[in-house]
Structure 1
Amino acid sequence: MDPTSSGRGVRQFKTSLLHLLERENDPTLIKKSDAREMQSFYRHYHSKYIQALQSAADKADHAQLTKAYETANVLFEVLKAVNQTHSMEVDEEILETHEKVTQKTEIYLPYNILPIDRDSANHAIVRYPEIQATVVALRDTRGFPWPVDCKKKSGEDILDWLQVMFGFQKDNVANQREHLNLLLANVHIRQNPEPDQQPKLDESALNVVMKKLFKNYKKWCKYLDQKSNLWLPPIPQEVQQCKLLYTGLYLLIWGEAANLRFMPECLCYIFHHMAFEVYGMLAGNVSLMTGENVRPVYGGDEEAFLRKVVTPIYNVIAKEAVWSKLGKSKHSQRRNYDDLNEYFWSVDCFRLGWPMRTDSDFFCGRLKSNNESEKKSIAKHLVKVDRLLK
């Protein structure tokens, strides 16, 4: 309609439209319509998308089903929130549907390249012998000390155990599981162009991957005159299992470290202590204080590694960025990634301890001062020393 018109009919229409909008904004109407609309849409999505894909399961794309179940879970969360806000019960029929969706979601797991969930046994890439060999090797968790309250599921592997014990993020574990499987499978197929029918991971393939991953860590240990914590058990049958543990642990640390990847020697320091804890747990060491089996010092709470290890170190970097006035201050008066990483090229880094001492020099903030002696002390502390590892 012409907005400039001032005829009687136009004014009547605008008035009636305004009354209608005011009536629709009545909370009592919104409360019922929103909840009904969400339940109706959830039923529609389940019948038109999920059931349609399931009926054509032989032709359906695994990725499409995975996405559909993930979307249905999100829709249910919204539906539940709307109903709780307006004190309405969710229909029993929808609750039963959601229970089925939840069960399927545990089967159809999101993936990037390599689907390793229970329903992907017939997927083309999973049928390759080198992929099967790595999957079987990673699922060997015999003798692992799982927590008593841990709810184990079928198909658990070494990375699942590391997640439970150290508190790595779920998506990081999924990504690094694919990463490790593909790394090992690529080396395995190059060394064995015609693999055996029985899937078994070649020990030499694992050694090649470890040599590349731990090259810098071994140099770091040698430079600081420290013994490597890549300890192997005396039983030959457990050696491969232990090697996979160390490899998976390093990838999980790297995957969750974010910007700390710019500080590779800092990652070496973290891995050095966590590898020591891994071997202590596998060896069944007992704490002298509690009399129980050794557990990681940072525990296995959800996202414990991110919150208790990565975040405190990154906070130091963030404070330095603020003090440097976003890089405008003199380079000799601020610390960047290289300067902070330089700390881990010295045996002084072991003063941090494990768990890391928050009152150590590394974590202590620097405050501006007008005192000349304090300025000289700060300048001396910030002197950069370039060390070349030969």
Structure 2
Amino acid sequence: MSMSSGGPSAPQRQPSMGRRNISRAITMRTDGYSGEEEGPIIESELVPSSLAPIVPILRAANEIEDENPRVAYLCRFTAFEKAHTMDPNSSGRGVRQFKTYLLHRLEKDEKDTQRRLASTDAKEIQRFYEHYCKKYLEEGLQTRKPDEMARYYQIASVLYDVLKTVTPDKPNSEYDQYAKGVEKEKASFSHYNILPLNISGPTQPVMEIPEIKAAVAILRKINNLPTPRPDTTNGPQGIDDGPIVRDLLDWLWQTFGFQKGNVENQKEHLILLLANIDMRGNGNVHQGERQNHMIQRDTVDHLMKRVFQNYISWCRYLHLESNIKNST
């Protein structure tokens, strides 16, 4: 990644957050964590349920603590800002106590941490973002495990959010464009149950099973379907802001707005059903012939009857025409 990290620095920010009228009185408590306890404390485990969205930010801070303590401080600073925006009056259960702890931690880290890459916090986060993406996302991609890459992409997303927080008034067009690519690739390392369908990197053995490959291929035959309209609230977009549509289930998700997680689960379930039925129906096929395997028509018909059996029965009972068409 080639980026310019020049430009004036953002104004120095103080953890007291005076411009938002955050006072120590809001977050005072008489017991519990004060930010001065001895021994390691994992902030992400202390986060109240009402502040759950800041958990990834604090986890990222813990991950990069040893590599760049100053950027870890900026991550916690961003987490504190988000926490205060979400609950400015500290009315949620445990919020007052947590914000007190985090505020004390910020005051301590601001004094103790030193910038390693630049003279200002703005340039520090910019250069570390470049460094992190190059080291963890671009180098050694083919040798890392999918779950490891998923963690790296999550941290990269957090760093970009921190960059925007530290430099709110600065144009970051280069970083914005690169971050779109990161988000697109991040979707390729999302968690999966059995089948790593969209995972980059080395091909997993389960995806080499001929029936699995054939089932995936048949779902990706969507050439005759209209392209869904881009919807930025529905999931990751490409660099050109077009929707990512790999197969029929992605098309249904983008077109009708189904929940992404449910669509992914149904996609995996459908592929496994197709592969299982087809495998049982071709049990005597020679291994060599399976390498260029295609899902049989009987397999699709059999699965369709199973899935829509109840619907078809009701149509017959009500003397209505079924909308399930069996094309030849």
**TM-score for the superposition, normalised by structure 1:** 0.44
1:25 aligns with 2:24: no
State the structure with more CA Rg: 1
Q: How does 1:310-329 map to 2 (within 5 A)?
A: none
Task: Give the 3-state SS of the residue equivalent to 1:197 in structure 2.
Answer: helix
Q: How does 1:9-20 map to 2 (within 5 A)?
A: none
* Equivalent in the alignment of 1:232: 326
2:144–2:201 CA contact under 8 A, matched in 1: no
Over residues 217-251 of structure 1, what are the superposed CA-to-partner deviations in whole Å (9 max), with x where a residue is unaligned?
A: 12222222222111234xx3xxxxxxxxxxxxxxx
Structure 1 residue 76, shift from structure 2 partner? 2.3
Task: Give the 3-state SS of the residue equivalent to 2:212 in structure 1.
Answer: helix
Over residues 175-201 of structure 1, what are the superposed CA-to-partner deviations in whole Å (9 max), with x where a residue is unaligned?
A: 222121111112222222345221311
> 5+ unaligned residues in a row in structure 1: which ranges?
1-22, 237-390
1:171 to 261, 276, 299: 261
Q: Distance in 1 between matches of 2:271 and 2:217?
A: 10
* Equivalent in the alignment of 2:276: 186
1:127 aligns with 2:208: yes
1:136 aligns with 2:253: no
* Equivalent in the alignment of 1:159: 249
Counterpart code for 2:224: G
Give the number of equivalent residue pairs.
209
Q: Distance in 2 between matches of 1:92 and 1:126?
A: 38
Q: Distance in 2 between matches of 1:185 and 1:38?
A: 52
* Equivalent in the alignment of 1:203: 297
Counterpart code for 1:130: E
Over residues 267-301 of structure 1, what are the superposed CA-to-partner deviations in whole Å (9 max), with x where a residue is unaligned?
A: xxxxxxxxxxxxxxxxxxxxxxxxxxxxxxxxxxx
Task: Give the 3-state SS of the residue equivalent to 2:183 in structure 1.
Answer: helix
Structure 1 residue 27, shift from structure 2 partner? 2.9
Q: Distance in 2 between matches of 1:136 and 1:50?
A: 33
* Equivalent in the alignment of 1:217: 311
Structure 1 residue 52, shift from structure 2 partner? 4.1
Q: Distance in 1 between matches of 2:226 and 2:276?
A: 31
Q: Percent identity?
A: 30
Over residues 246-273 of structure 1, what are the superposed CA-to-partner deviations in whole Å (9 max), with x where a residue is unaligned?
A: xxxxxxxxxxxxxxxxxxxxxxxxxxxx
1:188–1:202 CA contact under 8 A, matched in 2: yes
Compare 89-98 and 100-109 and name the one that shifted more. Answer: 89-98
1:62 aligns with 2:146: yes
2:129–2:156 CA contact under 8 A, matched in 1: yes
**TM-score for the superposition, normalised by structure 2:** 0.51
> 5+ unaligned residues in a row in structure 2: which ranges?
1-13, 23-72, 79-119, 232-240
Over residues 91-113 of structure 1, what are the superposed CA-to-partner deviations in whole Å (9 max), with x where a residue is unaligned?
A: 67755653552353254344322
Counterpart code for 1:72: A
2:214–2:294 CA contact under 8 A, matched in 1: yes
